[in-house]
Each structure stands twice: as C-alpha cells, then as structure tokens.
Structure 1
Amino acid sequence: MTIPDFEGLEQLSLPTGQENALAGTDDVRVGIDPTAAVAVVQLSRPAKRNALTQAMINRLVTVLDQLDQNEAVRAVVLMGTRKGAFCAGVDISELTKLTPSEAHERRFLSDLNGAFERFSKPIIAAVEGLALGGGFEVALSCDVIFATEDSTFGLPEVSIGTIPGAGGTQRLVRALGKYKAMELILSRQLISGEELAQRGLVNRAFKANEDVVLEAKKLAGRMATYSRPVVRMAKQAVLAAENNHLDAGMAVEKQLYYMTFSLDDFKAGTNAFLNKQQPDFKHH
C-alpha cells in the first residue's frame, strides 16, 4: 500500500552486517527526507489498530537506535495510520502468554522505554485516532505530541486486569498531576486530544480539516535546521528537570550551557546574529 507521506522519502540504510536487523515485519515503516534531515516512522498494522507485537517493538527499538546514529537525520516524526489509529496498545493475544518470570527475564517493554530515553534527537508524535494503553505511553515517550482534536487517549489497563507498564503512571503524573492521573487510570477514562491540549499535555490539537502529520513534519523540519549538538544539549537539559530536584537540574543546565561555548556552531550562530545573517550550522 502506498502511503503519500512516504512518497519521495529514502529508505533507512543500515551499516554493513546489520542488513537483517529490520527484517521480519513491515508493521513499522521508515523513510528519510535527506533535504529536510527528517525521518518519518510509521506504525503500520491497521487491521489491528497498530497494536504492538513483540516483533514491532523489536523493530521500533532498532529503528530508533539506527536513526539516532544516522547523521542524515536530525528530527523524527512518529505516526500511525492516517485517519485510523496511532496505536491501540500492546497486542493482548501476545500479552496473555507472558508469565511474571518471562516478563522479568525479557525485561518486557524496558527495551522500548530505553530506546526512547536514549534517543538524543527531537521526536514528535503525530496522533490521529486512538492512542490507548501502550500507544498512549509511546506518545508520552516522545518530546512533542501533536494530535487531532478528536483523537482519543487513555490508559484502560485496569479494565483487563493489569496496569500501565511502559511509563504511563509516572509520565502522566508528571504531565497532569497526581489527582487527574489517578482519575484517568483508575476509572479507565478516555480523553480527547482537544482536552489534553487544554491541559498542556498535547502541544497542539488540530481540527479535522488540518493535517497533523504535515504539521509535525514542518516542526521537525524547523528543529532540524538548528545545530545538532545544541539541540541535543537542550533536550538533555529539559529532560534533566524530570529526574532531578531544582538545584541538580540547574547544575546540569549550567554545565551543558557552558559546553556550547566550545562548539563551532556557537561561534557560527553568534557571529551570524551580530552580522544580521542566517547562521550556517555545521553540526559540530
């Protein structure tokens, strides 16, 4: 099936010896726009509303690791099925086969969390339709969330006898506060992209006649024009606020700030500003 969002995009090339690393499923697709330095990653299992299988998780982890190392990519858009679903969660038929010991042994979902946590480039979730359970958690793992107003978010795991397991409880508390997170999770409440935008969790909510993926690509393209190491440091500094108290976070920010002074891109940016020119960042 041809997806317009992938027309003109290049395939992700792998280092020699890793050509089979992405083999085994077409349920995660990736294309690169080298001119914009933007990659588009699509969860593409529409018959199952893009529910995540272990094969999809493995492929997504590999894709993120490869894109992080790819110098031709400086920002990423993560999307689901156009006008369908972003991701309806983890495939329940696979989940029911896991025992506690197997989940511990495989560190189930930890690899997915780790892939997002170590991803150093901006990643924007473009959400249309459902983002439930693990799908909501994947969106929460991204740096920016764009969504349609009528998209539907939720963590309904309690209704099938389990709890969110890919960071949902922790990230939702940080984003919405304990009381709203508790209500959403314990009552299986669903919430629209429009309401989440009003609450500040979704960055922007788009109307039905607007193209959320196109807007996400535009934002990714703007981010990709800035210095790669500076963007990486800015992302590190923001994320430090999640995991540290204020003094520790301020110390991390200051250290990263001072580090930018040694970059060629710092000199290029400041000189361009003083000369009223556009900077020509070399990404080092």
Structure 2
Amino acid sequence: MQSSGAASLEATALPDFEGLERLSLPVGQEDVLAGADDVRVGMDAAVAVAIVQLNRPARRNALTQGMMDRLVALLAQLDRNDAVRAVVLMGTRKGAFSAGADIGELTRLTTGEAHERKFLSDLNGAFEGFSKPIIAAVEGIALGGGFEVALACDIIYAAEDAKFGLPEVTIGTIPGAGGTQRLVRALGKFKAMELILQRQTISGEELAQRGLVNRAFKSDEDVVLEAKNLAARIAAYSRPVVRMAKQAVLAAENHHLNAGMAVEKQLYYMTFALDDFKVGTEAFLNKQQPDFKHH
C-alpha cells in the first residue's frame, strides 16, 4: 500500500473528539470535504487510530448522497495512510448512530437512475475493500442504512439500549446496502425475516446475546472510548498480520470451506516472510513484549 505518512495530519482540534488531530484528504480530494462537516475524521497518532464521525445530529445522522461520497473518500484515504492501523466509526455522542438513508433524497431516485449510478455499490465496496479493522461504536438508533453501515464494519460495540432495525418495508422498499444478506448470516433466516418483515427493533443487549454485537455497554460506560481502546490494542499488533487475519476471516463469507481453508493457508505461509514474524516469535521465546515494525 502507498503510504500517506504523518504529513497528512493537521493539528486542528475537534471539540468533541477530545483534542484529536484533524486528518486531511490528500491533494486532489479536498473538494470532497469542502463546505461540509457532516462526516469528520480525527486521528490519535500515538496509537495509530482514526475516529470517523457521522455528524448530522439534527437529522439523526440520516445519510445523504454527499455524506456517503465523503465516507467513501475518507475510507480510501485511511486505507492508504500507513499512520492509521485501525478505525472507529461513531455517530453522535449519546445520540443517534444513523437513522438510515435520507428519505427526502431517496424519493427523488428512480429505478433507472439507481441502476445508472449503481446506488450504494460504492459504499458497500468501500467497506468490503477496506483492509484495516473498522469498529462501529453504536449509541442511540442504527436503523435502515445506519444498521447496514454498522453491519459492514468488522466489530460492533454498542450501548445496551441502542436500537437496531431494518424498517424499510414500512416505506415501501427493502434494505439495499447488504442488510438482508448480512443479517441472515449473523442471525439466521428466521430472525432476519422477523426483523425485516415486521419492522422489529432489537437492542444492543439482545444482539450481544445473539453474537452479532461483540460487546454491549451499560449507560454509565463510554462506548466510543471502549471502541477506541480496542482499536488501539489491535493497532499495536503487526499491520500486515492484522490485514491478513482480517482477509482470512472474510474469506469464510465469500468461499465454501475448502476454498476458505486454502486462502487461510496461503496467508498463513505468507506471514513467515514478514520481519514481524521474526520479531514476534523471538519476543515470545525471550519472554518479552514484541516491538512490531509493521512489515
């Protein structure tokens, strides 16, 4: 991967990002962020963690096409930036993660235009092609496209009282950003049918019990901070090894068992050529903490 390096960081404080540095887009992509603050990104360089925030609280972070374009561009930037080794995606603190697609915009979209634009394909592709771990920190509601964005992440941390659902049938459409497919894989056909066809919502606590949410947190716990701490722990490991581990896990979704096993074995063998394999094994044998070099 091409390195963007620390030169792309500007030390501009983001008030509710607790002093994180602002991460700039590279030359040629600045117009994606021009005049908009509805998707923001901050960087904790000390632990190599970026935090992306959906920031349209007055509309419960309903996703406009502009927000999705900016999110796609930011993910591409973060994937290229070697200073970033893990990402947290959040919504409004103690508010909404995202209420889904902006319905006002959606009503103006025709079938022909959706096909021509390949509507939502770039957003799905941005998550599917992202090589680094993304942790969704969900507070409040994650409905429709908001739930689908969380499902597209690698790990979900949520408040116990967070509300998840795919209510699209109530407005005459269906989930279109991977919700039906990912929910079936996560919860099984019967529960997915019930949630989608009856417009049910399900809490973060219940989803944690069912294994879809990794951890659910009580009201006095800080979901974003816990997600950031997890991201920092993951970022401390070897960057190429984490990338390969993620690739191997995702192979199980897209291949039958034998093909997935072959992908895993190939990636496993590739780790033996890494400097970090030598660093990690020598540290283990000497009962020391490894100092990974990320190559």
Indicate if the aligned counterparts of 2:25 and 2:74 stay in contact, CA closer than 8 A: no
Partner of 2:43: 32
**Counterparts in 2 of 1:61-140, with a 5 A limit?**
61-140=72-151
CA distance in 1, matches of 2:96, 2:153: 17
CA distance in 2, matches of 1:230, 1:4: 34
- Where 1:281 maps in the other structure, the secondary structure is coil
Specify which of 197, 211, 221 is matched with residue 200 of structure 1.
Answer: 211
Partner of 2:26: 15
Partner of 2:71: 60
| Cα distance, 1:11 vs structure 2 | 1.3
- Where 2:22 maps in the other structure, the secondary structure is coil
Is 1:189 aligned to 2:219, yes or no?
no
Is 1:233 aligned to 2:244, yes or no?
yes
Structure 2 stretches lacking a partner, 5+ long: 1-12
Indicate if the aligned counterparts of 1:184 and 1:190 stay in contact, CA closer than 8 A: yes
Give the percent of matched residue pairs that are identical in Structure 1 and Structure 2.
Answer: 82
Letter of the 1:211 partner, please give it.
D
CA distance in 2, matches of 1:45, 1:7: 19
Q: Structure 2-normalised TM-score?
A: 0.94
Is 1:219 aligned to 2:230, yes or no?
yes
Indicate if the aligned counterparts of 1:89 and 1:131 stay in contact, CA closer than 8 A: yes
| Cα distance, 1:4 vs structure 2 | 5.2
CA distance in 2, matches of 1:16, 1:29: 17
Q: Structure 1-normalised TM-score?
A: 0.98
| Cα distance, 1:8 vs structure 2 | 2.2
Runs of 4+ in 1 over 4 A off after TM superposition: 2-5
| Cα distance, 1:173 vs structure 2 | 0.3
Letter of the 2:200 partner, please give it.
Q
| Cα distance, 1:25 vs structure 2 | 1.7
- Number of aligned pairs? 283
Is 1:157 aligned to 2:168, yes or no?
yes
Is 1:271 aligned to 2:282, yes or no?
yes
CA distance in 1, matches of 2:211, 2:272: 33
- Where 1:250 maps in the other structure, the secondary structure is helix
Indicate if the aligned counterparts of 2:14 and 2:21 stay in contact, CA closer than 8 A: no
| Cα distance, 1:15 vs structure 2 | 2.5
Structure 1 stretches lacking a partner, 5+ long: none
CA distance in 2, matches of 1:88, 1:16: 32
CA distance in 2, matches of 1:217, 1:122: 12
Structure-2 change in CA distance of 1:149 and 1:3 (3 Å) = farther
CA distance in 2, matches of 1:17, 1:137: 29
Deviates more, 1:65-74 or 1:5-14: 5-14
CA distance in 1, matches of 2:254, 2:35: 36
After superposition, what is the alpha-carbon deviation per residue over 1:16-67, rounded to whole angstroms, capped at 9, x for unaligned?
3333232242100100011010000000100000000000000000010000
- Where 2:37 maps in the other structure, the secondary structure is coil
CA distance in 1, matches of 2:27, 2:168: 41
Indicate if the aligned counterparts of 1:88 and 1:130 stay in contact, CA closer than 8 A: yes
CA distance in 2, matches of 1:16, 1:98: 32
After superposition, what is the alpha-carbon deviation per residue over 1:115-166, rounded to whole angstroms, capped at 9, x for unaligned?
0001000000000000000000000000000000000000000000000000
